[in-house]
Structure 1
Amino acid sequence: MPPPLRVLLLITELDPGGAEKQLFHLATGLDRSRFDPRVLCLRGFGAVGEALVKAGVPAETLGMKRKWDIGAPFRLKRKLVELKPDILHSFLFHANMLGRLVARRAGVRVVIGSVRVCETRKHHLMWDRLTQGQMDCETCVCEAVREYTERVAGIEAGKLVVVRNGVELPALEGIDRSRPEALFVGRLEPQKDLRTLLAAWPLVRKRVPDARLRIVGKGPQEAELRALGVEGVDWCGFHEDVAPFWRSARALVLPSKWEGLPNVVLEAMSWGLPVVATAVGGSVELVREGKTGYLAAPGEPLTLADRVARVLEDQDMARAMGNAGRELAGSEYTISGMVKANEELYDRLLRQKV
C-alpha cells in the first residue's frame, strides 16, 4: 500500500468560527490510511488549534503578527519545503493569497483555495482573479457562492467545485421551547446587519408582546447596537458552548447583508429550529420557504418582523419547520459527506498530475 498523501490545511487563524469548524471536521475526518493531514495557521492558534492537537492532528502557527508580514512568505516556503505536502488546501482570504504566492515555488503538486462567502470587497475579488493561475481548484461552500465567484470574481468555471459544509446532529435532550424566544448567533459586525433586526424587533413585540430576542456573540458594533436601547433584547455575549441557547429558542434569525453557506443556519437546523433569514448567498439553498423557515429581503425590517412573528406566534408550525430542517441537514449536509467530497477532489486532482 502506498504511503498516505500529505495534506496541509492552511488557514488564517484558528479561533472558533465557521471556516475553522469545517477545517477541524475535515482534518479529523480524513481517512488516515490514505491521507496524512496537518494544519498550519498564519497567526494566533486559538481553541480550534488546541482541539486539533488534542484530536491527534499536528497543528502549528506561522506566527504572523499582522496581516502584511513581509517575512511570512519566506517562512511559509521554508515550512512547505520541510513538510513536502502533496496537497495544499487553504481557507480564508489571506491564507489563500499567501498559499498561492509560494506553493508552486516550494514544489507543492496540488494547490486548492476556498471561497466561503459571496465576497463584496473589491480588492479581495481582484486578488482572487489575478492569482487563479497559481491554483488548481477553488472549493465553494454552495452553488450561490460558486456562481457568484465565477460571475463577479472572474474565476474560470472549470476551477470551481462545490463542497458543502457539514453539520453533526445533536441529541435533542432538555429542549424547552415554550417561550416565544428568537435567537441570533454571530459576530456583531456590519455584514450581519443587526440594525435591521433591532429595527424589526418592536414590530415583532406588537404582535407577540412577551417575545424575547437573545443575541449571542460579540464584535465591533456591540456598543453602538446596545446604545439603541431596544426593549425585549438580551445581550448574552460570546459563548463557546451555544447548546443551552439552541435548546430554549423557538427560531434563529439571521438578517445578513451577504453570506456564504452560513454554519449557524446549519447548526440551528441540526437542533430542530426553524430559520428566518435574509435571501442572500447559501441561505436561499438552506431555508426552504414555508417548510424549514422563511426568507426576507435584506435591509427590510417590516418583512423581517412579519416572518419572525409568524414563527413565534405558532409553536406547532415552528416545531414542524424545525423537524423538516433537521431532516434536511441530516440527509444533505453531513460531515461525512463534506469529508468524502474533499477526499474525492484530492484524488481527482492528483490523478491529473500523473
Structure 2
Amino acid sequence: MKFVICLTELAGFTSYTGGVGRRYAATIPELARQGHDVTVVLVADSAIVSAPAEIDGVTVVVNTDLVRLPWRLRSLPRVLLFRRILSRIEAENVYVPEWLGSCSFAPRNVNLVTNLVASLGLITEIAGPDAVARRSALKSWLDRFQIWCEDRQIRRSMAVIACSSAILDWNSKRFAGKLPDGRVVANCINVERASGIARTAQVPHLWPTGPGPVVVFAGRVQLIKGIDVAMSAFRDVAAQFEDARFVIAGGEGDTTIDPSLEQLQSELDPSLRDRTVFLGQIDEESLYACMREATVVVCPSRWEAFGNIALEVRASGGVLIATTGSGFSESCDDMVDSLLVEPGNPEALAAAIIRVVSDATLRARLLEDGRRRVDDFTASTTAARLSLQLESIWN
C-alpha cells in the first residue's frame, strides 16, 4: 500500500519533538518493513538537526519555510504549504495527526485519514475559561483558527484513527454523531531504544544528590499536565519526608494560559525552594536517565489522549503514578503496573507518592510488571494494527 504521512515534528529530524514526533519516528520504519510504500512530508515547526532524504527505506520530503516565521503566524502558511506539497507529489492516500489541522486544505482528490492525538479544542476545554480569558486578542483569534482547521480536517477525513478510546469518545461527543468512521490503534514507543538509552544515559548536572527519595514530575509545565497538582502534592510529601527532593523535568507550555518556570519558582513554598530542581526542557537521554534514577515519576495530567510518557517511564525503568479517566487507562492498570489517582486531586497524588516511597516491595513489583507490560506497545505491534486499519479504510 502506498501512502503519505504528514508531520510537523519527527524525532531525529526536528530540534523539538514531543510524544507525537517520537512515536511516528518509531512507527514509520516498521510500516516500511511490513511492505508499505511510505513517504513522509515534514513541514518542520522547529529547526532541523538532520535531514536525510530517506530513513530506513522511507522517503522524507523536508520543508523548513515555517521556521523563518514567528510561530504565532504559521497557521495559514502551514496549511497552504501542505496543500502545495501534496499536490506536487500527487499524493493519493494521506495519514496525518489532527494537531494543527495541517491537512485541512488538502487537495480534494486526497483520501484523508486523521490520527486523533490531541487537538487544541480539547486542550482549551481542559484549561478552562479562566485560562482562555488570559489570552491576548491575537492569540485568541489564532487559536480559534487552529481549532477551525483541526475540525475541518477531521470532517474532511474518510475515517479517523484514535490513539485511545478516551479521545475517540471525546471527539464523538464534540462532533455530535457526525464524526467520520472511528477506529482505535494504541500509541507505541521504540521500547528497545528507550530501554537502551536509559541504561547508559547520564542524569543532568542539576540532579539532586543525597540519600533521600527523589520525585520527578515528567511533562511540560502545563495545567493540563497537572503541574499545579504536583506542586501542591510535593508540599505534603515534603512534610512526610524531610530528605525528599523534587525534580520538574519539562519545558514551559503556553505561558498565556500556563505558569512559566519563573512564576513557579517565585511562587514556590519557602520550605521547598532548596529541595526543588527545575530542569526545563531536556533532551531525550537526560529525561530517560531522570526516570530511571527517580524513586517515583508522577504524571498527574488532568487529561491525556493516550500518554506516551507512561510507556517511556516504564521502559526507562521508572515507577509510575498517573491519573484515571483518560488515555492513561489504555496502557496502565492500577496496582498492577502503576498507581492511578483521580486527576486534579493533590491529596490523592501525595498519598500515592508517600505509599510508593514507603514501600520498597510495592516499588519493585510495579517496576517489574510495568516493564513487562510495556512490551505490548512496541512499534512493530502498533504498525501491524495500523496497517490493517488503513488497508480496510483505503481499500
| TM-score interval for Structure 1 and Structure 2 normalised by the shorter chain | 0.7 to 0.9
Match of 1:339 among 367, 383, 386: 383
Q: Deviations over 1:264-313 (max 9, x none)?
A: 11111223322112224112333322222222222221111111111111
CA–CA distance in structure 2, aligned partners of residues 149 and 69 of structure 1: 22
Aligned residue type for 1:23: Y
Match of 1:142 among 149, 155, 164: 164
Q: Which runs of 5+ in 1 are unaligned?
A: none
Look up the match of 2:107.
103
1:147-158 → structure 2 map (5 Å cutoff): 147-154=169-176, 156=178
Aligned residue type for 2:84: R
1:197-346 → structure 2 map (5 Å cutoff): 197-219=230-252, 220=255, 221-230=260-269, 231=272, 232-240=275-283, 241=285, 242-330=287-375, 332-346=376-390
Look up the match of 1:114.
115
1:26 aligns with 2:71: no
Look up the match of 2:135.
none
Aligned residue type for 1:21: R
Look up the match of 1:190.
223
C-alpha spacing 1:152/1:70, structure 2 compared with 1 (3 Å):
closer
CA–CA distance in structure 1, aligned partners of residues 49 and 37 of structure 2: 19
SS at match of 2:335: coil
**TM-score, with normalisation over the residues of structure 2?**
0.77
SS at match of 1:257: coil
CA–CA distance in structure 2, aligned partners of residues 216 and 281 of structure 1: 22
Q: How many residues in Structure 1 have an aligned counterpart in Structure 2?
A: 341
**TM-score, with normalisation over the residues of structure 1?**
0.85
Aligned residue type for 2:106: V
1:68-107 → structure 2 map (5 Å cutoff): 68=74, 70-94=76-100, 97-104=101-108, 107=109
Decide which moves more: 14-23 or 32-41: 32-41
Cα pair 2:99 2:118 within 8 Å, conserved: no
C-alpha spacing 1:71/1:203, structure 2 compared with 1 (3 Å):
closer
SS at match of 1:289: coil
Cα pair 2:318 2:367 within 8 Å, conserved: yes
Q: What is the Cα-based RMSD across aligned positions, in Å? A: 2.9
Deviation at 1:49, TM superposition (A): 6.0
CA–CA distance in structure 2, aligned partners of residues 132 and 314 of structure 1: 46
CA–CA distance in structure 1, aligned partners of residues 90 and 369 of structure 2: 45
Cα pair 1:145 1:260 within 8 Å, conserved: yes
C-alpha spacing 1:259/1:174, structure 2 compared with 1 (3 Å):
same
CA–CA distance in structure 2, aligned partners of residues 173 and 261 of structure 1: 25
CA–CA distance in structure 1, aligned partners of residues 279 and 222 of structure 2: 16
C-alpha spacing 1:33/1:293, structure 2 compared with 1 (3 Å):
closer
Look up the match of 1:60.
62
Identity, % of aligned pairs?
Answer: 18
CA–CA distance in structure 1, aligned partners of residues 85 and 324 of structure 2: 42
Cα pair 1:62 1:76 within 8 Å, conserved: no
Decide which moves more: 38-47 or 220-229: 38-47
Aligned residue type for 1:60: V
